[in-house]
Amino acid sequence: MQTLAQTLKQQATSDSLTQLIFTLAETSKAISKAVRHGALAGLLGATEQENVQGETQKKLDIITNDMLKGALKGDNSVHGLASEEEDDVVAVNQGGEYLVCFDPLDGSSNIDINSLVGTIFSVLPAVEGELTEQSFLQSGRNQVAAGYVLYGPSTMLALTTGHGVQLYTLHPETDEFLLTDANMSIPKDTAEFAINMSNQRFWEAPMQTYIADLLLGKIGPREKAFNMRWIAAMVGDVHRVLSRGGIFTYPTDNKNPLKPYKLRLMYEANPMALLVEQAGGKASTGYENILDIDPQEIHQRVAVILGSANEVDTCLSYHDIDYSEEPSL
Ligand SMILES: O=P(O)(O)OC[C@H]1O[C@](O)(COP(=O)(O)O)[C@@H](O)[C@@H]1O
Ligand SMILES: [Mg+2]
Ligand SMILES: [Mg+2]
């Protein structure tokens, strides 16, 4: 089986990007070990701290953030970094070619129940001049690499550098990432959806109607039975979509009018959107392709609908309908 180094070489990845990917991959091995120690190392549970987004930080959120920040600071290919767990962007090396945005631990609420968590990352080109938040505010189309590491029954790295999506599995004995899927491909059609149904009453009309039609199964307008899955870690839900298809959405809701979206653009939606597009799927907010969004701030949140191309198109068609008039039954 091919190693990560062999695959990157075959794709003619530049030395500096290869170095950065190795920094991320090596750190994820250390995170994988830390996560596995769990309660044995007293790593579970919450801290007294909140991040800039008002979320209580878990101990592992902070530990994994510090691990990635420390490793990236030691990599001279990195110009700056931005993280879910950092209030502001962090300057790294003056001459670095890349900016890295990351969610050090996605699915934090799963930590204490020993369920799926992961790390998500996005790599952008550095821009001239002093590093500011503005340097990072580039559309997702600019990403030169994106990926995630899933800390599940096995540790897996899904990566794109613009040559499709490659999936690597960490060998537990040799501690090496080996290529186990050279070209992940999302089937165009699906009968599986992922959404947090408990928010149903807070969704907008297009999502209400779309999901209601899925739930009607064979007797509804879709004339097809759909199954539902929700891992509560985007990294796990997107991995399932990349592995066997499906549609995943965290749509707009009015539960808290000040926070209509949940997922973060720069280190959740954008990297996952690039992976999904590279695997033949689609990613949208309902009204705009995620990769075309012009970011306004580093911790910006967006609505996300992604997965099997035909199913995403069907979902988007519900967003073209005018719901202001009562539907005729
Ligand atoms: O708690 P909910 O509504 O099920 O939300 C789950 C979503 O929140 C997230 O856990 C947010 O990520 P973090 O754990 O990094 O804050 C997503 O991974 C996941 O899709
Ligand atoms: Mg997350
Ligand atoms: Mg997180």
Give pLDDT tens digits for 251-270: 999 999 999 999 999 999 99
* Cα 232 to ligand 1 centre (Å): 6
Going along the chain from its start, the domains and CATH numbers come out as 4-181 (3.30.540.10), 192-318 (3.40.190.80)
Using DSSP's 3-state secondary structure scheme, residue 51 falls into coil
Please give the DSSP secondary-structure letter assigned to residue 116.
-
pTM summary value: 0.96
Atom of ligand 1 nearest to the CA of 198: 3
Q: How many CA atoms lie within 13 A of 78 on its CB side?
A: 25
pLDDT of res. 188: 98
How many other CB atoms sit within 10 Å of the CB of residue 65?
22
- For the chain, give the mean pLDDT: 95
Ligand 1 — pocket residues by CB below 6 A? 84, 103, 106-109, 196, 232-234, 250, 262
- Is 106 annotated to bind a ligand? Reply is yes
280: left (phi over 0), alpha (psi -120 to 50) or beta: left
Q: How confident is the model at residue 50 (pLDDT cuts 50, 70, 90)?
A: confident
Please give the DSSP secondary-structure letter assigned to residue 76.
T
Unique residue bearing structure tokens 């009018």:
257
Q: Give the residue from 62, 99, 111 showing the smallest Cα distance to 84.
A: 62
* Cα 301 to ligand 1 centre (Å): 12
User: How far apart (Å, rounded) are the C-alpha atoms in residues 266 and 157?
Assistant: 19
- Complex-level ipTM: 0.97
Query: Is the Cβ–Cβ distance between 142 and 124 less than 8 Å?
Result: yes
Query: Is the Cβ–Cβ distance between 4 and 177 less than 8 Å?
Result: yes
Write the pLDDT tens digit of every residue in 265-292. 999 999 999 999 999 999 999 999 999 9
Give Cα separations from 54 to 32, 51, 148, 163, 208 (angstroms): 26, 5, 24, 37, 28
Helix spans in 152-268 (H) = 205-215, 234-244
